[in-house]
Amino acid sequence: MLKLPEAGADLEATVHAVHGWAMARFVYVPDLERWHQDLAPNGDHWETDAELLADLERAGRVLGDCDAFAKLCWLLLRRLGVPSRLVACQAETGGWHLVCEASGWILDNRMPVATPREDLERLGYRWHSKSDYEPGGQWTTA
């Protein structure tokens, strides 16, 4: 039985717990390597919740790239009742990137801990669009 992370005493503790839990189980694998026959036209593959949970149940870890990590954090935070969103951005390298956000905290597989969005802005991150809090909702500019 898969044991998911538990909520902390407050929001900050919860986002750090979720980020740490996800990082401990995340293995970076490029989409081309894992999903070479099932890629979007831009060469991207965003995992379904079922794919993420199947990875966790089968191997105790999630294999994927930034969107797998962001979606895993989004899934975990929603299960804990924490409002959160996906955010499409460009990292300081200029490369396109996907992270998860909860009240300004950014859960990012490139960072060792959940990070305030202002710190990532100082690093050179540029935000582009964000999902709704609920899956299937309207995306808006960030």
Partner 1 sequence: MTMPSITAARLVALALALLALTACQSAPPQPFPDGAPTRPPQGCESLRERGGEC
Residues that bind partner 1 (CB under 8 A): 12, 40-42, 44-49, 67, 71, 85-88, 98, 101, 103-106, 116-118, 127, 129-131, 135-136, 138-142
Q: Which residues contact 94 (CB under 8 A, 6 or more apart)?
A: none
Shortest distance (Å) from residue 40 CB to partner 1: 4
Query: Cβ atoms within 10 A of the Cβ of 135, count?
Result: 12
In the complex with partner 1, the residue whose CB is nearer, 49 or 57, is: 49
Shortest distance (Å) from residue 82 CB to partner 1: 12
Shortest distance (Å) from residue 32 CB to partner 1: 13
